[in-house]
Amino acid sequence: MPIDLPARARVVIIGGGVIGSSIAYHLAHAGWTDVVVLERDRLTSGTTWHAAGLMTTFGSTSETSTDIRLYGRDLYARLEAETGVATGFKAVGLIEAAADADRLEEYRRVAAFQRRLDLEIHEIGPREMSELFPLAKTDDLLAGFYVPGDGRVNPVDLTMSLARGARNLGVRIIEGVSAEKVLTRPGVGGQQVVGVATSAGDIEAEYVVNCAGMWAREVAARNGVIVPNQAAEHYYLITEPIAGMSPDAPVFEDPAAYGYYREEGGGMMVGLFEPRAAAWAVDGIPRDFSFGTLPPDWERMGPFVERAMARVPATLDVGIRTFFCGPESFTPDLLPAVGEAPGVRGYFVCAGMNSVGILSSGGWGKVMAHWITTGAPDVDITAVNVDRFRDYQLDPAYREQRTAEILGTVYAAHTPGIQLTTGRGINRSPVHDRLVAAGAYLRDVSGWESADWYAGQGLSPSAEPGWGHQPWFAQWRAEHTAVRERVGLIDMSFMAKWRVTGPDASAVLDWLSAGAVAERDGRITYTQWLDDDARLQADLTVTRLSEQDFLVVASDTAYGHVENLLHQAAAGRDVALEDVTTTLAQFALQGPNSRATLAGLTEADLSNDIFPFRTAARLTLAGRDVILARITYAGELGYEIYVPNAEALAVWDAIMEAGAPHGLSLYGLKALASLRMEKGYRDYGHDIDNTDGVYEAGLGFAVALDKGDFRGREVAAQARTAPARRRIVSVLLRDPASLLFHAEPVLRDGEFVGYLRAASYGWTLGGAVGLAMVEAPEAVTTDWLDTGTWEVDVAGRCVPAMVSLRPLYDARSERIRS
């Protein structure tokens, strides 16, 4: 029978799994009903059909993720009343077992955070766990975390219910038609979606959403979009009926035993997340793979199956009805790939769900529908935006090795200090060997090997993950102190860097920047790039070297987003963009002795009158041509040095030699974090994000409303005089032994008002320090802060704290201008 394919649709969704169906449903509820869902076979035929169907909310310290899961749980409970199709949702509860001290600490911190987001969580002991789930062996467990509202859902039924809801509102769902390629034409800043070529003909479209699941990488690659998800084996077994296995039994998870457990047909489903997984079909998923299974690798999986089943001994005494192995896809960082693809306007992605697609499908459907219909997301997406990926992550060997490792972290303890070992060393600084010789404890930074801290010249660093104070903290403290009291040198070559040149360079950057970046030559401007609603899109520096020559520097994690914004703004203008991230080394020399260190290396006058704060110049340093910028991310007198890779090693060695009489020390990223946190310096994607207004973020001082027009100016001007109910504040714990990491709730007079977005230890201040977004009934003012009693909930223990709108270190910034 010929397929009745429409000639056009406003939105075409590629993929008829639970994600594509949810986006269609939510678009329709937003009033966009001219939507077509294309499914190459039948709905759910990819990975949705064999999902385990867990609907669990516990385990995240992301507000976005928690809200998405809570929304989905609520939706699944009420969807049948709307559509007439049951979802199979049953709120049987969840028990998350903590088998060791590290997991117990992690879960207590997670629980403290999620309780403040209105998730009901109870910490229970082994006896209570046994009462709720009698078949499990619990006497060797430390505790459990019980979430009564969680439970299970039927993945196929859920998808069909969402599809019915979408159809009822006018969405067309077409099965048996595959999307071959997204059609585009040249547009602003790249390509523009105009339709989809399918196996049954072309469809015109304004928007396309790639929800192709484990095929998403291959679909995206046809348009040059990077989505490096990779399929891997995933296992579960279903036993024969077990006496006493109640259909109302809660879901039980014991990550230390690699297992999750729930009732299935009178027996038990035992699911597995083994510590070392296996990628599947690295060269590409077969096009005709539908409702498919994979041959299980018993030899590899045997020990993990035995350990998981030992947690529920009854599973060892009955037969196995099904031993299932099927593919699910995972991303390199275990976070979803969502958002508008860089360089292709109207091309959206929602894939790479990392085995939590069912429980997050409702929430992501809502978020994506809002994003598509309004042009902007309404949640923090800085960690999950599809523009974060790099082309090296498409390499087959990288995907195979990283997937095997990253899947193994799903049920691992997430103790601070754990590092991934695959896919390392993609980029190395020209001074890499010097860092290693100095005893650098290396860490991956967006594909770069960078020093976290130093053991000392010729020493081999070692560190064990842990929640408390660690032996290497002594080295960290010494590096921090060296910058505060003497001078420190750090390699920052991983930072994202562009040269922006040409007659229109000034106009392009001035439009993007809320700060006045085009005032005069030799001027560094710390600035934000905003959206139309004056919410943050980037936080960076723009240096005007000459009228037609600028240097833009952003954090490594913002690389893709900033590059995309640059290309969009530069479209049709007489401007050239050159990515110099990997060709221009960047060093930072910071501390009160930094000027004296440089004085013997250059004939340039670096005195405060001639070379004040925020000055930049091309000059000769140690006989090499460099760009020297007087700027700091440590809160001290300091400089950044930009030098071509070929000359970088000579400049580094010269600085080390010149700095020796002044007490020069190398410092790493741990010290950089503690230094900047004491000073309250922001980091986009960590403590500020796309949901924050520029004044809420405490960055109004960087906005130049009098310079002329820029993106978001009108809204920013209105926000400047409006009471700010939300503000970023600095937080310092009064107990020097307690540590902060991220997501700890902040309390004023016992009431939850916000949480730590990022934190470190303030060695100068004498306690853990961080940045939190807090919210007041009317306005966050100094008086409101000063009249409250402040505490931070650290794993369920309230620790006294002080808060401030101003930096807790050198509030008047006298040191950086000295």
Q: Are 123 and 108 spatial neighbours (Cβ–Cβ below 8 Å)?
A: yes
Does a structural domain hold residue 245?
yes
Q: Predicted confidence band at 1 (pLDDT cuts at 50, 70, 90)?
A: low
pLDDT tens sequence across 517-526: 998 999 999 9
Does residue 444 register a pLDDT over 60? Answer: yes
- What is the average pLDDT score of the chain? 97
The pLDDT assigned to 3 comes to 82
Residues 514 and 637 in one domain: no
Residue with the two structure tokens 């006896």: 127
Q: Are 430 and 585 spatial neighbours (Cβ–Cβ below 8 Å)?
A: yes
Percent of the chain beyond pLDDT 70?
Answer: 100
Q: Is 72 exposed, middle or buried (0-12, 13-18, 19+ CB in 10 A)?
A: buried
SS (H, E, C) 647-677: HHHHHHHHHHHHHHHHCEEECCHHHHHHHHH
Q: Predicted confidence band at 605 (pLDDT cuts at 50, 70, 90)?
A: very high
Angle at CA of residue 731, ends 725 and 733, nearest 5°: 145
CATH assignment at residue 632 = 3.30.1360.120
Q: Are 33 and 169 spatial neighbours (Cβ–Cβ below 8 Å)?
A: yes
Residues 624 and 678 in one domain: yes
CATH assignment at residue 304 = 3.30.9.10
Does residue 120 register a pLDDT over 70? Answer: yes
Average pLDDT value for residue range 461-479 = 97
Can you tell me whether residue 611 is helix, strand or coil?
coil
pLDDT tens sequence across 524-563: 999 999 999 999 999 999 999 999 999 999 999 999 999 9
Residues 593 and 681 in one domain: yes
pLDDT tens sequence across 646-657: 999 999 999 999
Residue with the two structure tokens 């700010």: 724
Does residue 161 register a pLDDT over 90? Answer: yes
Kindly write down the DSSP assignment for every residue of 9-71, as one continuous string.
EEEEEE--SHHHHHHHHHHHHTT---EEEEESSSTTTTTGGG---EE---S---HHHHHHHHH
- The count of structural domains within the chain is 5
Residues 634 and 662 in one domain: yes
Does a structural domain hold residue 205?
yes
Does a structural domain hold residue 451?
no
Domain boundaries, position 115: 94-144+231-326+412-419
Residues 82 and 122 in one domain: no
Q: What is the 8-class DSSP label of residue 426? A: S
Q: Is 708 exposed, middle or buried (0-12, 13-18, 19+ CB in 10 A)?
A: exposed
Residues 167 and 130 in one domain: no
Can you tell me whether residue 77 is helix, strand or coil?
helix
Distance CA 357, CA 44 (A): 12
Angle at CA of residue 392, ends 549 and 691, nearest 5°: 65
CATH assignment at residue 788 = 2.40.30.110
Residues 101 and 136 in one domain: yes
CB atoms within 10 A of CB 291: 12
Can you tell me whether residue 723 is helix, strand or coil?
coil
Does residue 97 register a pLDDT over 60? Answer: yes
Percent of the chain beyond pLDDT 90?
Answer: 99
Residues 292 and 351 in one domain: no
Residues 621 and 732 in one domain: no
Residues 318 and 358 in one domain: no
For residue 143 the two structure tokens come to: 């505790």
Neighbour-count burial for 254-265, b at 16+ CB within 10 Å, e otherwise:
bbbbbbbbbbbe
CB atoms within 10 A of CB 479: 25
Q: Are 346 and 193 spatial neighbours (Cβ–Cβ below 8 Å)?
A: yes
Distance CA 181, CA 702 (A): 44
CATH assignment at residue 707 = 3.30.70.1400
Q: Are 205 and 11 spatial neighbours (Cβ–Cβ below 8 Å)?
A: yes
Does a structural domain hold residue 506?
yes
Does a structural domain hold residue 466?
no
Residues 336 and 212 in one domain: yes
Residues 170 and 68 in one domain: yes
Average pLDDT value for residue range 16-24 = 98
Identify residue 107 by its one-letter amino acid code.
Y
The pLDDT assigned to 298 comes to 85
The pLDDT assigned to 4 comes to 86
Does a structural domain hold residue 554?
yes
Does a structural domain hold residue 431?
no
Which of the listed residues 645, 671, 690 is the one where a domain comes to its end?
A: 690
Does a structural domain hold residue 315?
yes
pLDDT tens sequence across 494-521: 999 999 999 999 999 999 999 999 989 9
Phi, psi angle pair for 81, to nearest 5° = -60, -30
Average pLDDT value for residue range 246-252 = 97
Does residue 202 register a pLDDT over 80? Answer: yes
For residue 289 the two structure tokens come to: 């793979």
pTM over 0.85: yes
Distance CA 21, CA 606 (A): 62
The pLDDT assigned to 640 comes to 98
User: Terminal CA-to-CA distance of the chain, rounded, Å?
Assistant: 80
